[in-house]
Structure 1
Amino acid sequence: MESMASAFGRAVTAHREAVSHAEAARARLRAGAGGDGVSAQASEDARRFAAGMQRMAEGLTPGWLGCRLDAAATALPTGVDAAAGRPLAVRLGEASPAAGSVFGVVVPFVGAGHLAVDSDARDPSVARWLRGLLLRVLAALPDGALRVAAVDGATLGAVFGPFRVMVEAEAWRRPAIDLPGFQQVLAEAEERIERVQAGEADPSVLLLCVAAMPAGAGRTEWSRLAAIAHAGPAAGVFLLVAGYPPPQHPGLEAAPRLERTTHLTAAGGGLFRVSDPPGPYRFSDDGTGLAAPMRLDGSPPDDLIEAVCRRLAKAARVQASTDFAALMPVEIWQESSVGGLRTVVGREGRAECVLALDDATPHWLVGGRTGSGKTVFLLDLLYGLASRYSPDELGLYLLDFKEGVSFAEFTPTAVDPSWIPHARTVGIESDREYGLAVLRTLSREMTRRATELKRAGVTKLADLRAGRPDVAMPRLVAVIDEFHVLFEGNDAVARQAVALLEELARKGRSYGIHLVLASQTISGVEALFAKTESIFGQFPLRVALAGGGGVLDQLNDGADNLPIGAAVVNAATGIPGANRVIRFPNAEAASVTAQRHLLWNARPPGDAPPAVFAGYAEQHPDADPTFARLSPDVRRRRALVGRAVDVGLPTAGFTLDATPGSHLAVLGTSPVGADVLYAAAVSLARQHAPGTARFLIAPLVAAADEAADAAVEAITAAGHHCETITSTQYRTHLIDLAQQSEPGGGQATYLVVFGADAASNLLAASDPITYRSGHDDLRAVLANGPGHGVHLLGWWRTLSRFSDDLGPTGGGEVACLVALNLPSSDIGSLLGDYASEWQSRPNRALLIDRNDNRRTLIVPYVRPGTFDQIDDMA
């Protein structure tokens, strides 16, 4: 089959011969030779020339490339008239070399060069012609072979209105209508050229179709167009530009001429001059182009465009569909994170959408209403990253502040022991304080990395790792779902979190620390009012799902009416015109489980599961590895009371030694107080050699009976003397302990009082002979006991009774406090700090160590089943 180039060459040769004959005839006429005979012969030659050119034009433009664009064209098959990767010729209009003779004008286009017309789409004939030409190429090439990036700076996209089905099917991007959008289209073409030049194969064609330059376009954009015209054909990028070159203004430099381009120039009367086309075959010897002016073809009927687009859009939807498994690489852990992180998150039309966490887009904002698929998108992202990069290249910090299990997929469970090896910590239904702890951990790591970089004499992680491949410094990604919860209100937690987030957002990119913040909205967060630009300005990549347009610019409505499973991706901080619409697949449970097991089975030897904080979970003493490892081989004994709300859930407790104030008071009406006291007493018993400690257990309230009995059983099993006493015996033991300077023959003595407030009235009574009250003896034990190995562990249900028992010191003799469901006003009066922002809530307590000036939010220890008996702890 004859190639397009050779067939076009024959047509050009015929044209030049005809021009030569016509010039000879005109010369004879000017010389007065032949008269009417010459004129008649010239007309006949013109007709034969036109007929011959028409036959060759029809041969060059089969089917859609040259047919009449009317209703009859609907019957033509699509995708068969041209081949991807091969040049095609297309009909532009009709030329008339003489009255009564016309032929179709055909020039090489996609695969060979570009087209430009100096009038833009504000000229109705140009707008109609653009639509027809676009339809020809679209229908001629195979399905999926052509991607169109449209620009319409004059009619707000109306030129491309009949093609809206292609936009709705996400086969095309929405037309750019302003300068930022135009710049984004240029950037897309430049990126495509760079990828192909770097060796990436892409068989599709990218056509930049500019109906009119947007306002503000100037020398910079024209130069970029010229560069694309030069380098584009080798990378499958072609131009169809109306309004180029733009009118030249006096004193200003003319726009650069586009290489490898056929130029159409308005000649008046609706006619256009056609320049010599690119390539070896030229219409003229002198550069004048086609000998006859051309009238542009008109527009096909809108229903013809829509019929073709519906056919192609259906195929595009099928080809654009994807599933979770298709996002994953063929082989796991084959990528290096030295220069950044990249993964496929979905499809943009029929092409994969690859997003990056690197120096250009170091942090992301993701927005979407409930049910928009935000969690699914995050799972697609995280599994894609974890499958491409090994744990030596990537570490994950995952936080979820809502009631859900977004990130439970990454942790071991009772049903499935597998986990994602990259996860460092996972927070599920996290407390704000836990989120703050994670930010502090990342800030400390950033400081450590900054020191390493300074020692190496470099300023970026990529430079350090390139020069020191032995340095283990993976990129860290912190994903925080419903992040706005962390900043609610304007309390100390919010203020500290804002400061840390701002630091990480500004500096993190240099040290390989990246943030992905997801929420339904970023507006209305009081703590961020003054920091919107300084923080979110560091998040250039925005992903807006259905109902998540708040992460885009206020003037950007690109996310309005998005379907579930679709998202707008904008790498220009959300400004209008930079939107890309993608589709992402649902994370099917079976596929996710299979991928998790694949990663888990490939984990390095000795890999430990992530530190998991589940905000709803109880903490049982026997489930704490630190509690289970307790032994007498310790230097200082600690009363353990729970797990700190911090990364790794470290065990929380108090050191009980000879330091003044080494006593424990648990405060609050919650029955959890009995369990905390149980855990503290049992933990101390395990830190004494059998028989070297004495425990006096006083269960003074019915709510504590079970916990007290369990404590007696556990302490006795540990080999210690354990005596259960009544309130009267409690009073008697206080007298003895207050009078003994070295009680128990040097044994440590622990007085454990469950419901100490129940004995307050008894202690208030004075002895009629000595005039000493029980309060006097209690205060003596508190003041002098630690120096003699005597420690009080008590649970007071009310702060007033605790204050009455301890007297005017205001409880200062007890340095170790666990506040359960006390209001912040009580905490303020107890500590003399009326700015306290403590808010009591179920399954939480405030640990206060006055010796160490330490306040820590903890999950208090409870025995299994305790919360099943509690209706309201708050």
Structure 2
Amino acid sequence: MLGKGERRNRAEQALAELRSVLGLALGAAQNRRTRAETRKRQLEFERAVYGMGLATAARDSALMASLADDPARRAVWQRVTAERDRNYAEWHESGLGAVRDVVAAEAVGPAGLPWEDWLGKVGRDPGASAPRLWRIGSARVEHAPPEHGFPLAVPLLDVGHLRLNSVADSRAAVDSIVESLLVRMLSTFVPGAIRVHLWDIGHLTGPLPRLHPLTAAGLMVVHDPTRLDDLLAGLAGHIRKVHAATLRHGAGSLRETCAAAGKRVEPWQVAVLFGNGERPADELYRELNRVARTGPDAGVHLILVDVPVAGNSPMETVTFVDGEHATSSMTGPGVVVRADAPAPAASVSRAASAIGEVVLSRRGRPRTFADLLPDTLCQESARDELRTPVGFHDGAPVEVVIGDATPHALVAGPSGSGKTNFLYAMLGGLAARYPPSELEMYLLDFKEGVSFAGLTPGRKDPSWLPQARLVGVNVNTDREFGLALLRFLAEELARRAEAAKRQEVTKLAELREADPDGHWPRIVAVIDEFQALFGGRDQITQQAASLLEDVARRGRSQGIHLVLASQDIAGIEAFWGKPAVYDQCTLRIAMPKAKRVLAEHNNASVTLPRWHAVLNHESGVAHGNEIAHIPDASSRGTFDALQRRLWEEQSSPVPRLFDGAHQPELLTAAAYANPTGPVLGQVIDVADQSACPRLDPVPGRNLAVLGTATADALSIMESAALSLARLHAPGTCDFSLWCPVASLHERVGRLAEVLTGLGHVVDLRTGEDIATLTEESAERPRFVFFYAVDAAHPWLEVKEPPLMRSGLDRLRSLLKNGPTAHVHTIGWWRGVGRLKDTLGFGGTDDVGAWVALDVQGQELNSIAAGQLVDWSPRPHRAVFFDRTTHARPQVVIPFDTSTAMDPS
């Protein structure tokens, strides 16, 4: 057992060991804390150095002085600068040259070269693309020597925007960057490819004065500093228009559209906004950000100076730190940016003036119809659309596009406004680009005139427009012809729709791919003064409205396009409550002073000068307006010269001409060359066909001509007789000509001479012997032509003993029994009532066909097999009905038989 002293010694020894251990632990903790505090101080110092940049830190005298008293900081500084030197050496070895090579390759021409190489020269055509980078100055790593600098270029056109943030005394450098960048762009491309907008919140006269010569040429617009809203609204409208156009082409951006077209289809819009660092009002700020977000895809780009903007748009930023130096989002804070030295002011002014003069001289040179035409004729495909320039704006062509997205067009302009000239410019441009296999035209003019007649062969000029298939002129009184055209288009639409259904496709382009051997051209139907179709409250108006609406609605997918022109499209009752036609006519063309063709509140046509037009592919909405000067396309040596060239180079059938002001000649009728029966007149229809009923040996195959219009009645009788004489070989049929009217004897006698000269036997009766009539049967066909039957009634009504049978009884028997025995009667009665008197009760079945002249429609209802005849008489027109073949009567034009009746 230990003693008390020994226990005390052991306790003191243990306490000493504890104190030693605790001392060691406290010392270790203190050392760790010291090291941690040192490390923390080093990290904070390193962060501060990287935050301000090594070059800036090296210039900070307080920070550099702290290194002498703090070995830890000094160690960090030595390591960081060593790493910088090592990294810079590696970058200088390979990266610096690579940067210079990239800028040289992507900022070609004026986009990257010194101004001495290009300033004052006119640029090239932009083609489909722009340089990817644009030089704005030079840059170098902060500590690097000047000779280690490199060019700084930023993406802009078709990519994004540029923002410049200034400080005091940096405005000169900012203006230098902006001016240099604009001059580079303007000098890279042909004048007109870049449109500049300037807005400065603090300058009433506008910034960048050396570029102001561009304003006279319209290449630069200086906007009112108080109306930023107008500028942004204009840019937004332009973006909407371009986006709509790109979507029509199935592209996502203007850049893609240009790439597909292989050319620039829309100029770039560059808006330079000089602000004061304050955020615009909320609505303006939202509109600015919308433009910034959607602009690049539409070719709209912003250069913002001290204008705040949200960070959700493609934008590079240059921020000045003093009057000359800046940093860039392209290179980061460790790189010093400096603006290039500006070109001499006089040189910039001269260059701007030269660019403007090119535009003015190009605009000043009279643009002619020849400028609308391609270098090589008829080389383009209409698979997807039809496209042609029709005029010019600032020397640049303005195009009309007709396709799936803009299927139909409305053209409006008062008399003398140039509407016809515009149509010629459009038709000429289309014909010059698309061969007849790609494009067919159907042209109809309801005015009194011959606007389109020259597109068919004439006495002086035998040429015709190869793409024209039908030309109708002077049809102001022949609304049936317009209805026939719409009916033809509807039938063609049904034919194409059926073919598309068989091929399991929906569009013309797809049908052409599925059936490459088929004939599927695009069809353009131009109807001038189309409102004449709806000028009456009758069946024509109802049917035309229905057909036009159907073609307008469904034609887009099958390549059938309407161009509807009018002096004033207001007040068309047929379309009240039927907006389908107007809605489908998304292409609107307004001539000077035109009304109601553009959208409401779009008054662009009111101040339009003569020979100009507003073209709008956006249903007339204001942002779609394009102003174009339309060159003279209708004078001698313009369209006619093109037509002759096309006629000589392109093979196509002769188009059909329908001229409502002239009676067609019998000798020129296709049906007269190869008749199948009596030719009565030309049917008002798209096809060149004649009214030609068959006279088969069956009951009722007789024909009545009704009315008091003597000249037309004689023409119909003569046409029928001459065509029957042509149908039968000489000596194989006989003719009986009966005429009780003395004033007609000479004319009927001349017909008898012509028939006899053709080798036929003619029985000519002009007196009371008519009452004896003829046999009801014959060994060979006999055709009885009875003129003014009602005038012979006094002779026919005499009853002869002993049977007390009259000539009228024999005539009725002839009409009843003659056709089955090859004896057919073509009689002329001067009224429906007179015909009924002749036929008697129940005899109307014995006349199976009739031609009515100056007879009202309601008088014809009783002999039209239950049809309602909607007919009002007019000169040199007749209505024909054959109960065995017709669902409704046909309007016909009696032939001019004067040449055919000449015995010589």
The normalised TM-score by structure 2 is: 0.71
Q: Is the 8 A contact 2:173 2:323 kept in 1?
A: no
The one-character-per-residue Cα deviations of 1:442-467 (angstroms, maximum 9, x if unpaired) are 22222222222222222111123234
Q: How does 1:764-803 map to 2 (within 5 A)?
A: 764-767=797-800, 769-803=802-836
Question: What is the identity, as a one-letter code, of the residue corresponding to 2:460?
Answer: V
1:644 Cα deviation after fit: 0.7
The structure-2 alpha-carbon separation of the partners of 1:691 and 1:657, relative to structure 1 and needing over 3 Å to count, comes to same
Q: 2:697 aligns with which of 651, 658, 664?
A: 658
Question: What is the identity, as a one-letter code, of the residue corresponding to 2:662?
Answer: A
1:806 Cα deviation after fit: 1.8
Q: 2:564 aligns with which of 513, 517, 522?
A: 517
Following the alignment from structure 1 to structure 2, what is the Cα–Cα distance between the partners of residues 133 and 88?
A: 21
Following the alignment from structure 1 to structure 2, what is the Cα–Cα distance between the partners of residues 408 and 94?
A: 66
The structure-2 alpha-carbon separation of the partners of 1:845 and 1:562, relative to structure 1 and needing over 3 Å to count, comes to same
Q: Is the 8 A contact 2:379 2:434 kept in 1?
A: yes
Following the alignment from structure 1 to structure 2, what is the Cα–Cα distance between the partners of residues 514 and 149?
A: 41
User: Is 1:503 aligned to 2:585, yes or no?
Assistant: no
The structure-2 alpha-carbon separation of the partners of 1:496 and 1:187, relative to structure 1 and needing over 3 Å to count, comes to closer
Greater alpha carbon shift after TM alignment, 801-810 vs 811-820:
801-810
The structure-2 alpha-carbon separation of the partners of 1:125 and 1:484, relative to structure 1 and needing over 3 Å to count, comes to closer
- Tell me the equivalent position of 1:454: 501
The structure-2 alpha-carbon separation of the partners of 1:662 and 1:255, relative to structure 1 and needing over 3 Å to count, comes to farther
The one-character-per-residue Cα deviations of 1:773-801 (angstroms, maximum 9, x if unpaired) are 33222211111111112221122223332
Following the alignment from structure 2 to structure 1, what is the Cα–Cα distance between the partners of residues 466 and 367?
A: 26
Q: Is the 8 A contact 2:755 2:762 kept in 1?
A: yes
The structure-2 alpha-carbon separation of the partners of 1:338 and 1:263, relative to structure 1 and needing over 3 Å to count, comes to farther
Q: 2:656 aligns with which of 588, 604, 611?
A: 611
Q: Is the 8 A contact 1:712 1:722 kept in 2?
A: yes
The structure-2 alpha-carbon separation of the partners of 1:346 and 1:203, relative to structure 1 and needing over 3 Å to count, comes to closer
Following the alignment from structure 1 to structure 2, what is the Cα–Cα distance between the partners of residues 216 and 765?
A: 99
The structure-2 alpha-carbon separation of the partners of 1:688 and 1:467, relative to structure 1 and needing over 3 Å to count, comes to closer
1:522 Cα deviation after fit: 2.2
The structure-2 alpha-carbon separation of the partners of 1:821 and 1:278, relative to structure 1 and needing over 3 Å to count, comes to farther
Q: Is the 8 A contact 2:320 2:327 kept in 1?
A: no
1:359 Cα deviation after fit: 1.5
1:690 Cα deviation after fit: 2.0
- Tell me the equivalent position of 1:465: 512
Greater alpha carbon shift after TM alignment, 445-454 vs 564-573:
445-454
The one-character-per-residue Cα deviations of 1:734-776 (angstroms, maximum 9, x if unpaired) are xx53xx5x34xx1222221222221123323333543333322
The one-character-per-residue Cα deviations of 1:280-335 (angstroms, maximum 9, x if unpaired) are 6x9x6599x999xxxxxxxxxxxx9xx99998699267357411011011101111
Q: Is the 8 A contact 1:818 1:846 kept in 2?
A: yes
1:418 Cα deviation after fit: 0.6
3-state DSSP of counterpart to 2:734? strand
Q: 2:682 aligns with which of 631, 635, 643?
A: 643
Q: Is the 8 A contact 1:359 1:509 kept in 2?
A: yes
Question: What is the identity, as a one-letter code, of the residue corresponding to 1:545?
Answer: M
1:728 Cα deviation after fit: 0.8
- Tell me the equivalent position of 2:637: 590
Q: 2:487 aligns with which of 421, 440, 457?
A: 440
User: Is 1:133 aligned to 2:180, yes or no?
Assistant: no
- Tell me the equivalent position of 1:119: none
- Tell me the equivalent position of 2:302: 239
Q: 2:400 aligns with which of 336, 352, 355?
A: 355
Q: Is the 8 A contact 1:553 1:574 kept in 2?
A: yes
The one-character-per-residue Cα deviations of 1:515-542 (angstroms, maximum 9, x if unpaired) are 111112222111111212x221111111
Q: Is the 8 A contact 1:149 1:208 kept in 2?
A: no
1:858 Cα deviation after fit: 0.7
1:510 Cα deviation after fit: 1.5
- Tell me the equivalent position of 1:845: 878
3-state DSSP of counterpart to 2:840? helix
User: Is 1:690 aligned to 2:724, yes or no?
Assistant: no
Following the alignment from structure 2 to structure 1, what is the Cα–Cα distance between the partners of residues 226 and 406?
A: 28
User: Is 1:546 aligned to 2:592, yes or no?
Assistant: yes
User: Is 1:707 aligned to 2:747, yes or no?
Assistant: yes
User: Is 1:677 aligned to 2:722, yes or no?
Assistant: no
- Tell me the equivalent position of 2:412: 367
- Tell me the equivalent position of 1:599: 646
Following the alignment from structure 2 to structure 1, what is the Cα–Cα distance between the partners of residues 793 and 215?
A: 92
Q: Which has the larger radius of gyration?
A: 2
User: Is 1:422 aligned to 2:422, yes or no?
Assistant: no
Following the alignment from structure 2 to structure 1, what is the Cα–Cα distance between the partners of residues 306 and 216?
A: 29
Following the alignment from structure 2 to structure 1, what is the Cα–Cα distance between the partners of residues 417 and 493?
A: 34
Q: 1:570 aligns with which of 596, 600, 616?
A: 616
- Tell me the equivalent position of 1:184: 241
The structure-2 alpha-carbon separation of the partners of 1:135 and 1:423, relative to structure 1 and needing over 3 Å to count, comes to farther
Q: Is the 8 A contact 2:453 2:473 kept in 1?
A: yes
1:363 Cα deviation after fit: 1.2
Q: Is the 8 A contact 2:381 2:434 kept in 1?
A: yes
Q: CA RMSD in A?
A: 4.5
3-state DSSP of counterpart to 2:414? coil
The structure-2 alpha-carbon separation of the partners of 1:468 and 1:787, relative to structure 1 and needing over 3 Å to count, comes to closer
Following the alignment from structure 1 to structure 2, what is the Cα–Cα distance between the partners of residues 128 and 483?
A: 54
3-state DSSP of counterpart to 1:842? coil
- Tell me the equivalent position of 2:890: 856
Following the alignment from structure 2 to structure 1, what is the Cα–Cα distance between the partners of residues 682 and 627?
A: 45
Question: What is the identity, as a one-letter code, of the residue corresponding to 1:681?
Answer: A
Question: What is the identity, as a one-letter code, of the residue corresponding to 2:566?
Answer: S
3-state DSSP of counterpart to 2:619? coil
- Tell me the equivalent position of 1:338: 383
Following the alignment from structure 1 to structure 2, what is the Cα–Cα distance between the partners of residues 83 and 620?
A: 62
- Tell me the equivalent position of 1:805: 838
The structure-2 alpha-carbon separation of the partners of 1:806 and 1:330, relative to structure 1 and needing over 3 Å to count, comes to same
Following the alignment from structure 1 to structure 2, what is the Cα–Cα distance between the partners of residues 113 and 517?
A: 44
The normalised TM-score by structure 1 is: 0.73
User: Is 1:328 aligned to 2:373, yes or no?
Assistant: yes
3-state DSSP of counterpart to 1:747? coil
- Tell me the equivalent position of 2:40: none
3-state DSSP of counterpart to 1:504? helix
Task: Name stretches of at least 5 consecutive residues in structure 1 with no aligned partner.
Answer: 1-15, 31-78, 116-123, 160-174, 247-253, 266-270, 292-303, 631-636, 868-874
Following the alignment from structure 1 to structure 2, what is the Cα–Cα distance between the partners of residues 701 and 149?
A: 86
The one-character-per-residue Cα deviations of 1:439-492 (angstroms, maximum 9, x if unpaired) are 222222222222222222221111232344333311111111111111222321
The structure-2 alpha-carbon separation of the partners of 1:603 and 1:125, relative to structure 1 and needing over 3 Å to count, comes to closer
> May I ask how many residue pairs the two structures share in their alignment?
728
Question: What is the identity, as a one-letter code, of the residue corresponding to 1:597?
Answer: R
Greater alpha carbon shift after TM alignment, 830-839 vs 691-700:
830-839
The structure-2 alpha-carbon separation of the partners of 1:811 and 1:178, relative to structure 1 and needing over 3 Å to count, comes to farther
The structure-2 alpha-carbon separation of the partners of 1:458 and 1:210, relative to structure 1 and needing over 3 Å to count, comes to farther
3-state DSSP of counterpart to 2:482? helix
Q: Is the 8 A contact 2:473 2:659 kept in 1?
A: yes
